[in-house]
Structure 1
Amino acid sequence: MVVFTQILGYAARQVPRNYLRGLFVDSLRLHVKGGTGGMGLPRFGGIGGRGGHVYLVAKEGENLKNLASKLKAHKLVAGAGGNSSQIQLLGKLGEDMTIPVPPGVSVISDQGVKLGELNEPGSKLIVAKGGIGGCRETGFSGQKGEALHIHLDLKLIADACLVGFPNAGKSTLLKAVSRASPKIASYPFTTLRPHIGLIEYKDLRQISIADLPGLIEGAHINIGMGHRFLKHVERTKLMLIVVDIQGFRLSPKHVPRNCFETIVLLNKELELYKPDLLNMPAILVINKMDTENAREKLNEIKPLIKEYERNLATVSDEIRPEKAFVFEAILSVALREKNVDEIKLLKEKVRIVLDLLAEKEVRQTEEFSDSELIKKLKEESMQRIPTLV
């Protein structure tokens, strides 16, 4: 009996495993309350000070995990306004509370109302107003400040993101093209939190690229990482669809998918989550070309990929999307071999596509209809980007 008690005591004191303590935090719920207004002074018509406001301010280097660790309780109250007095008829304003948050945060109330976004460093949003000070209209009684629960929902901002199923080689790709050091292993779900790397070019241009946790079938209905993954895609300009030439199978309970079906299934998952994501340009990266029979399998799917939209009719209704990916470039790579030429080519493709997007934004002001502009840019991109390597 004594031994059993000791074991229970030990279990209660156990420290959580490191990988659980280090998980990326991209959502946080807070209770915020504006300060109460100060009391007025009826005898002299004195007005109480307004209660302090609660602000959120976007600041580089901040993250929600650190914010949560700094808060003893997730309840934040601004300062109360000062009371009116014979010496100071206008009460002192309550002290505002300013909460630093990372750029890319959306602020949503418990009722689902979007209060605002903080995308740029230095941007500021008031989330709870202080109560007005006591005056004639309020019977000289200070009013309570606004009080509400808010959700801070972080969406990473990057130029490009890596989209694919577990173990497709996304982390290997990120490490190859940037200085990031994500965890890499030959088993699924190595990436449990997003990583962002910087691709650096000789002319000092930098492009940020995010490696996100792998999707699984059903991610659109929040299975697996679900929406915690997919929401980050929305804040990027370019998707790199990374697939294993050998295909994908999550477990013995799941249907095995060949490489082409894997691409189609990723297409379907993104469409079911948010169809607008398929308007985003994409580069298809067929990875692990150093594995067995990879070249033969690539030759089998080449015709299907070249006429991707038309060949969607060949897959089952269960996974067939209504809208197809638009691939700006298609590459086959073997990143495990540290192939310098392939890495260089991939980096060039990412830059070219992003440059074309920037050109499109600038040239929207010129006298082109949208369809003419897209056609013109497509012609230029075909000259600068090979279809398949």
Structure 2
Amino acid sequence: MVLLKDVLFASFRKNPRKYLRGKFLDSLRLSVKGGHGGNGLPKYGGVGGQGGAVYFVAKEGKSLTDVVCKHSSKRIVAGNGEESSKDRILGRRGLDQRVEVPVGIRVFEDDGTLIDELNEADKSCLAAGGGSGGCSGNSFIGKTGQSRTLRLDLKLIADIGLVGFPNAGKSTLVKALSNASPKIASYPFTTIRPQLGTIEYEDYRQITIADLPGLIEGAHANFGMGHTFLKHVERTRLLLIIVDVFGFQLSQSHRKRNCLENIYALNKELELYDRTLLEKSCILLVNKMDREGAVEEICKYDKYFNDLQDGLKYCPEELIPNQLLNIDQVIPISAKSRIEVNKVKQAVRQTLDEKALQQLREDENDSERHDELRARINERGPKVV
């Protein structure tokens, strides 16, 4: 009878994986509950089994879409503990639920309290604990498991974050640099979800780059893609700022800004969202240099690219930032014609290597200071009371 029912209603069931195919999720709300503890057995002093727990485990290659496909109800419940009996005095523990999530997940309470960050593969987080089993201390009555509503928030982890206004050529550049295949068109907002690409070198070195949705003014206040875009910049080590040499105009109701003004506009948005982003290393790319009139256009502003402070006199008052980007290098390119693309590949590698070397030296200095302090403490000997 059960088999007949399954056959009759199989065609009416929705396939969540097909429904969600190709959809990018970077935030997910889940209801999790630990298992109920098993009851004890007063006659024999038996102890009920502990309720199972719900864990989140970070795994490479996983996505939040996979989580929804496996748990379409968005409700995850661990197994209940076994009740004590004369045949088994100590009840078995309930079955744990281990939910595999992508690396880079932050786990929040429903009220916004941060519980944990899973930034490394195989790192786990207790989402909901199981209830204790019944024993003499609780009148042999098993306790209910922990129940809570949690929000999983994903921030992509990449070496490089590509920052620019719509139609600046970000997706074209990522395709030229890496093995990614983003959607490319000659109109703004082609990229509507982040994509990761990998830059590969002849010596097998690999660097990841995130192609992120185009930024618009007001993104810091969550306009446009807003925080959906900016939160993915936080975990990158290097910013690639890309601007159209001919400037950008969002719509007819907006004033067209030249490439220099666009740099300040991007600077301002990053600052208003999180000022620490401006402390990251940054390479400026001036794109579409293969087009007619590009050389004449860049000559108007190129002397200010390496000295943004001097160029502030040409910056509209509303775009003047309190802190300027830390631009290490300026490279005029054509992503479409692949002009200077190899130069960009070498520049990002050199910058990341220098940053890694600097961090290594700082760590070594900290270690030396720690050893020196420990030696001084040992020289003083034990404190006499």
TM-score (norm 1): 0.87
1:349 aligns with 2:375: no
1:290 match: 290
Matched residue, 2:320: 320
Match of 1:256 in 2: 256
Distance, in Å, in 2 between the alignment partners of 1:140 and 1:64 is 40
CA distance in 2, matches of 1:313, 1:138: 74
Give the match for residue 168 of structure 2.
Answer: 168
Alpha carbons 2:158, 2:209 under 8 Å: kept: yes
Q: Is the 8 A contact 2:261 2:316 kept in 1?
A: no
Aligned ranges 1:1-389 → 2 under 5 Å: 22-339=22-339, 342-366=340-364
Asked whether the equivalents of residues 306 and 330 of structure 2 are also in contact (C-alpha less than 8 Å), the reply is: no
Give, in angstroms, the shift of residue 19 of structure 1. Answer: 12
118 and 366 in structure 1: CA distance in 2 versus 1, 3 angstrom threshold: closer
Instruction: Give the secondary-structure state (helix, strand or coil) at the position aligned to 1:240.
Output: strand
Which amino acid in structure 2 is aligned with residue 87 of structure 1?
A: D
CA contact (8 A) 1:313 1:320 kept: no
Q: CA deviation at 1:343?
A: 1.2
Secondary structure in 2 aligned to 1:364?
Answer: helix
Letter in 1 for 2:87: I
Contact 1:245/1:288 (8 A) holds in 2: yes
Q: Which amino acid aligns with 1:168?
A: A
Matches of 1:307 and 1:26, distance apart in 2: 37
Q: Which runs of 4+ in 1 moved over 6 A?
A: 18-21
Contact kept, 8 Å, 1:287 with 1:334, in 2: the verdict is yes
Aligned letter for 2:223? I
> Whole-Å Cα distance in 2 between the matches of residues 19 and 99 of structure 1?
21
Closer, same or farther in 2 for the Cα pair 1:222/1:277, shift >3 Å?
A: same
Structure 2 unaligned regions, length at least 5: 1-17, 367-385
Root-mean-square deviation (CA, aligned residues, Å) is 1.6
- State the shift of 1:254 in Å: 1.2
**Secondary structure, in 3 states, of the residue corresponding to 1:337?**
coil
Deviation digits for residues 332-353 of structure 1 (CA, Å, limit 9, x no counterpart) = 01122233xx111110000000
State the shift of 1:21 in Å. 6.2
Unpaired runs of 5+ residues, structure 1, are 1-17, 369-389
CA distance in 2, matches of 1:55, 1:212: 30
- The aligned amino acid for 1:28 is L
Q: Deviations over 1:233-255 (max 9, x none)?
A: 01110000010001111101112
Secondary structure, counterpart of 1:349 in structure 2: helix
